Amino acid sequence: MRKLLLLAVFVMMPCWMTCWTTLATTALAGPLQVAVGVAPVEYFAKRIGGQLIQTTVLVPAGADAHTYEPKPSQMRALSGSTMYLSVGLEFEQAWEPRLKAANRALFFVRLEQGLALMPMPEGHDDHHRGGAKVGHEVEMDPHIWVSPSNVRHMAAHIAEVLAKADPAHAKAYAANLETFVKDIDAVDADLRAAFAGIPADRRVFLVFHPAWGYLARDYGLTQTAIEFEGKEPSPRRLGAVIAQAKARGVKVIFVQPQMSRRTAESIAQALGAKVLVVDPLAGDWAANLRAVAGAFRAALR
């Protein structure tokens, strides 16, 4: 039944792109060249493309994906890529014209299209665009990959564009998609089990940067962020965060390795709490999400 469902989704799914004709469908001389912004998207692409693709990742380990600017050498490396898989990070939106200028044949694939996107928390402003709103545009949360339900959608999208670019291996991409969806379902089941039974008044976790909103949405949790307007909080806001955290009995503050942990450590000292590192950009998506869920569950008890 699952195989038939996946085949139907793969064949009948409406195309997210406005025009397929710009995507090459000729026989390839070697692996399909696929560029991505961050490591989790590379993981998804490799699970579906396997040895049939070769990936280029722009944001290196340890770099902040929100403020990253591609190096000239990376721009040159994009010249051989067939497609770029975007999740809507700030740098991807800002750099799209230049990425395309570096390779006029580059097909820009927006994996966030078709998803129910969430706005960033109130008061979170974009580092580059100077605010959570640009005109009447609300800044949307780009961390779509922390949700298994989102990743199911993204995986089907990736399989579709790979098959369109390399139709000779469409069956292989479809088979890899089927296997990957089973693994996504297993991660989803493990996360549901991890968060089952946590009382309603204990389902709030404190982070420095709000990267886990989609995970919180899917599993009935509430994410509270220290960061305000894309930067360190003011002394007044810091006091309010500490007061709220004390009232909720917070004993763990989560930070990510790409950002400063100085403020989080100050708050932890005031609370008698500890600081733990969880990385939304880790390369092994499945193992990382399970580890993060375990850390969150332990903190919420």
| 156-167 residue pLDDT tens | 999 999 999 999
The dihedral region occupied by 15, where left means phi > 0, alpha psi between -120 and 50, and beta the remainder, is beta
Q: What is the mean pLDDT of the chain?
A: 86
Percentage of residues in the chain with pLDDT exceeding 70?
A: 85
Average pLDDT over residues 261-290: 94
Contact 264, 242 (CB under 8 A): no
Domain 198-300 in the same topology as domain 2-192 = yes
Phi, psi of 208 (to 5 degrees): -80, -55
Supply the pLDDT for residue 28.
64
Region 238-258 average pLDDT: 91
- Residue 101, pLDDT > 50, answer yes
Minimum mean pLDDT among 97-111, 153-167, 168-182, 212-226: which range? 97-111
The string of pLDDT tens digits covering residues 35-45 is 999 999 999 99
Domain residue ranges in the chain? 2-192, 198-300
Query: How far is it, in rounded angstroms, from Cα 1 to Cα 8?
Result: 11
* Spatial CA neighbour of 23 closest among 300, 15, 152: 15
- At 5 the pLDDT is 44
Distance CA 220, CA 200 (A): 9
The closest of 45, 91, 82, 289 to 191, measured between CA atoms, is 289
Domain at 2-192, CATH homologous superfamily: Nitrogenase molybdenum iron protein domain (3.40.50.1980)
pLDDT of 23 reads 61
Res. 278: pLDDT tops 60: yes
Name the helix (H) or strand (E) containing 269. Answer: helix 262-271
200-209: average pLDDT: 92
Q: What is the mean pLDDT of residues 264-292?
A: 95
Confidence (pLDDT) at 122: 55
283 class by beta-carbon count within 10 Å (0-12 exposed, 13-18 middle, 19+ buried): middle
Q: Which range among 8-17, 138-147, 185-194, 203-212 shows the weakest confidence by mean pLDDT?
A: 8-17
- CA angle 43/285/81 to nearest 5° reads 20
For position 137, what pLDDT does the model report? Answer: 62
Q: Could you tell me which CATH number the domain at 198-300 has? A: 3.40.50.1980
| pLDDT confidence tier of residue 81, bands split at 50, 70 and 90 | very high
DSSP type of residue 140? B
Q: Which residue has the higher pLDDT, 139 or 50?
A: 50
